A and B are shown apart, each in its own frame.
Chain A
């Protein structure tokens, strides 16, 4: 099961390691010891928020503002949990960790993969989530350690995250085969891009969920 989890999570490695390295490199500019980059990867574990933190720290922003900004930046994750209310199982440490480890990438992967029948779903999810975080922490650490000597040109490697989501979108299409959610996602994105480009991700997710609830309610009214 572990080998299968590693294999399935490798695409996340290609996204997380370079992104983590980029974070570590930037974080080192602040002048703190390198292991704080690793620590952030371990206990915060949020890509966008960690990049934002670099700005906070150098500006010396207040703690309350930081808490609020982090909350709003990550608030899309509130909707991710909806897909796992059942499949994360009963309340225990494993479930608490699965919730902790839900990033955009792990959410995308876990909602797309098919868990083989012989595997215990929660355990398989746990391995994938754990390996994903290991990739991230590795990236953050390598970046912070190599800040001065890194010579490998990683320009363009950020495309890996885009490619991952494109691949998972195709897999979602093969699994779901209903046009409506894809159309709603597309329209919501375009509207959010046009009017709320600063908060595009959150607005688009809110819009798409609001519209699918709305359509569902109309449908049940009519029937």
Chain B
């Protein structure tokens, strides 16, 4: 097996493996059956996952800066814009621009 063949096999295996994880729930719970507990879980998952993703990201956001104050201030700007303007793009760009400024100077 030469290097390119290895790369192609790895890509195919990873593609199948990734797709498999995403497909499982749809195969296991193929629609037609109503389950109140499953509905409840499905409804509660997004807010839980969002909370977890935010904490997960914050866990290692300080790659370049050692100062958590940069992160906190950028977060405050993002949150502030989102709460007052409700414009996702604006909040993200503003927070990220400020963070990049902090990190690069």
- State the A residues within 8 Å of B (CB): 10-11, 14-15, 32, 36, 39-40, 43-46, 49-50, 53, 56-57, 60, 63, 66-67, 70-71, 74-75, 77-86, 88, 95, 99-100, 102, 104, 107-108, 111-112, 153, 155-173, 176, 178, 180-182, 184-186, 188-190, 192-193, 197, 200-201, 204-205, 208-209, 212-213, 216-217
Contact = CB atoms under 8 A, between A and B. Distances in A.
Contacts of B69: none
Interface in B1-31: 3-4, 6-7, 9-26, 29, 31
A165 B57 contact: yes
A10 B53 CA distance: 19
B49 to A, nearest CB: 6
- If over half of B's interface residues share one DSSP class (helix, strand or loop), that class is named, otherwise mixed; here it is helix
Interface residues of B, number: 70
Contacts, number: 254
B87 to A, nearest CB: 9
- State the 5 A-B residue pairs at the shortest beta-carbon distance, nearest first: A185-B51, A81-B25, A156-B103, A156-B100, A185-B48
A100 B53 contact: no
